[in-house]
Structure 1
Amino acid sequence: MSGSPTLKVAIAGASGRMGRMLIEAVQAADDCVLAGALDVPGSPALGHDATAFLGRASGVAITADLGAGLAGAEVLIDFTRPEGTLAHLAACRDHGVRAVIGTTGFTDEQKAEIAEHARHIPIVLAPNMSVGVNVVLKLLDMAARALSEGYDIEIIEAHHRHKVDAPSGTALKMGEVVANALGRDLKACAVYGREGVTGERDPSTIGFATVRGGDIVGDHTVLFAGTGERIEITHKSASRVTYAQGSLRAARFLADKPHGLFGMDDVLGLA
């Protein structure tokens, strides 16, 4: 890490809920220092100290200038929107900055663009940075293989009223893990809504149900419903701090990587 034990971290979306949680986690970590804070042009937070909300100064001003925000950073942590993240990644590539991406809602074309950037810089891309969620993904792979016959699979997720994409990136990742374990293509077998006379359930499908309301941080349940029994694998987030801590683990993981696209299973040794 540039000959220093301190990891220099920039945060995108610095004035948002997740951005502030990440900044607080960086400030609390012994081996990290806040080196940059980015926000969108026109944000009322621009020019303000990035840690003012904590009641102390960091000397890092929130900026919309990508070059300035990344100038002193070794890694960017980004939980924003797909278009913004892609612009940030292009700047990271130009400046040789590593990237941890928790943004969700990418199209296949955008994922291909991320993979292209990863040929030049190391990137961790994960729809959920929670250590617990990524352990659950491993459990789902095991469960799907063992329950491949005679069990209907439904994925139920709930998030706060402000979330803009549905189903959540985590729910889709859970569906992908289950589908892959069963030798299916999620695009071909996913059912995202049911209304009216739908007919009997096709046993080859994977169903999704979405709930949005209040301040729910994130609940996910995968239901394997058989005859005479149900198995439910559930993860509930009570705080975004788990995503922040997982993101810092991902940032540390990238320290010695020259390039490549990684997931949290790589970070946690679950791959």
Structure 2
Amino acid sequence: MGNLPGIVVTGASGRMGQMLIRTVLDSETARLTGAVERPGHAWVGQDLGTAMGGTALGVTVSDDPAQAFDGAQAVLDFTAPAATLAFAEAAAQAGAAHVIGTTGFEEADLSALAGIAQRVPIVRAGNMSLGVNLLVQLTRTVAAALDEDFDIEIVESHHNKKVDAPSGTALMLGEAAAEGRGISLKEMSDRGRDGITGARERGKIGFSALRMGDVVGEHDVVFAAAGERITLRHVATDRAIFARGALKAALWAQGKAPGEYSMLDVLGL
């Protein structure tokens, strides 16, 4: 067991954090060596298992990333942009691969991560599931095959606690559609329609976000022309698919050269 890659989970108390923890604990290919929460959180200083309402695990929840990451081989991080940037630096100093499922980054954040990735492997994806990454490939292929007679709309649904929109997955799909079309998503995205907006502009990639109940994640990519419509769809019903993908990415990153990687790299797509 001691030879298995050591994994640290950040944002341990969150829904995704706890799912990641359970996934690592259930794995026969990795071991949980640490858990991190923000300073002042009630879990800090507690045994992780006890904090989660179970039996003791011998892992104490820490508010010190440098200490928690020391000796670990990988960090699983689904938190918030500012926290992720701090974790990225700490992971680089520890020589640990950093698997990032955090979304909502600004361009400056991504530039900072790119700089850190020159020192350690970073695997970042708006979605870690196999199905979604296949959907990304399909979206790129269909967008390349259809001209601007087909409008492209990306519709995503998530639970009512999600704080960013469009979702990271929707943006992945938008980037894939833009690449297929040979255009810039930044220049050709349409993210907000309210009031008298005028007719839809030809060639734009539209986004719509729904926030409701406990929806785990649903994404539709719609290609619509006069008289016909093609819809590519992915529905997630269990967060475990993201946790399993993140663990797969952490194991894949072992021994990889420093750099930025995606789940398409991990899955060989």
- TM bucket by the smaller chain? over 0.9
Which of 6, 9, 28 matches 1:8? 6
Which residue in 1 is equivalent to 2:123?
A: 124
Which residue in 1 is equivalent to 2:111?
A: 112
- SS of residue paired to 2:200: coil
Structure 2 CA distance for partners of 1:54 and 1:33, relative to 1, 3 Å: farther
Shift of 1:247: 0.3
TM-score, length-scaled by structure 2: 0.97
Structure 2 CA distance for partners of 1:197 and 1:71, relative to 1, 3 Å: same
Shift of 1:91: 0.7
Gaps in structure 2 of 5+ consecutive residues: none
Task: Assess if the C-alpha contact under 8 Å between 2:8 and 2:76 holds in 1.
Answer: yes
User: In the TM superposition, what whole-angstrom CA distance separates every residue of 1:20-55 from its partner, at most 9, and x where no partner exists?
Assistant: 000000000001110110010111111122233262
In the alignment, structure 1 residue 95 sits paired with structure 2 residue 94: yes
Which residue in 2 is equivalent to 1:78?
A: 77
Q: Give aligned-pair identity as a percent.
A: 44
Shift of 1:63: 0.7
In the alignment, structure 1 residue 35 sits paired with structure 2 residue 70: no
User: In the TM superposition, what whole-angstrom CA distance separates every residue of 1:63-90 from its partner, at most 9, and x where no partner exists?
Assistant: 1011221123110000000000000111
Shift of 1:149: 3.6
Shift of 1:179: 0.7
Q: Which moved more, 1:194-203 or 1:135-144?
A: 194-203
Task: Assess if the C-alpha contact under 8 Å between 1:23 and 1:51 holds in 2.
Answer: no
Give me the whole-angstrom Cα distance separating, in 2, the residues matched to 1:209 and 1:160: 14
Q: Which amino acid aligns with 2:24?
A: V
User: In the TM superposition, what whole-angstrom CA distance separates every residue of 1:194-249 from its partner, at most 9, and x where no partner exists?
Assistant: 12222221121111111111111111101001121110001111011000000011
Which residue in 2 is equivalent to 1:20?
A: 18
Task: Assess if the C-alpha contact under 8 Å between 2:72 and 2:94 holds in 1.
Answer: no
Let me know the Cα RMSD of the aligned residues.
1.3
Q: Which amino acid aligns with 1:261?
A: E
> What stretches of structure 1 move > 4 A for 4+ residues in a row?
none
Which residue in 1 is equivalent to 2:224?
A: 225
Q: Which amino acid aligns with 2:36?
A: L
Q: Which moved more, 1:104-113 or 1:67-76?
A: 67-76
When the two structures are aligned, how many residues end up with a matched partner?
Answer: 268
User: In the TM superposition, what whole-angstrom CA distance separates every residue of 1:149-207 from its partner, at most 9, and x where no partner exists?
Assistant: 41111010011111111111110111011011101111111111112222221121111
Task: Assess if the C-alpha contact under 8 Å between 1:5 and 1:31 holds in 2.
Answer: no
Q: Which amino acid aligns with 2:72?
A: A
Give me the whole-angstrom Cα distance separating, in 2, the residues matched to 1:235 and 1:126: 16
Give me the whole-angstrom Cα distance separating, in 2, the residues matched to 1:228 and 1:89: 49
Gaps in structure 1 of 5+ consecutive residues: none
Structure 2 CA distance for partners of 1:54 and 1:247, relative to 1, 3 Å: farther
Task: Assess if the C-alpha contact under 8 Å between 1:157 and 1:218 holds in 2.
Answer: yes
Task: Assess if the C-alpha contact under 8 Å between 2:71 and 2:94 holds in 1.
Answer: no
Task: Assess if the C-alpha contact under 8 Å between 1:221 and 1:232 holds in 2.
Answer: yes
- SS of residue paired to 1:23: helix
Give me the whole-angstrom Cα distance separating, in 1, the residues matched to 2:193 and 2:182: 24
Give me the whole-angstrom Cα distance separating, in 1, the residues matched to 2:44 and 2:259: 32
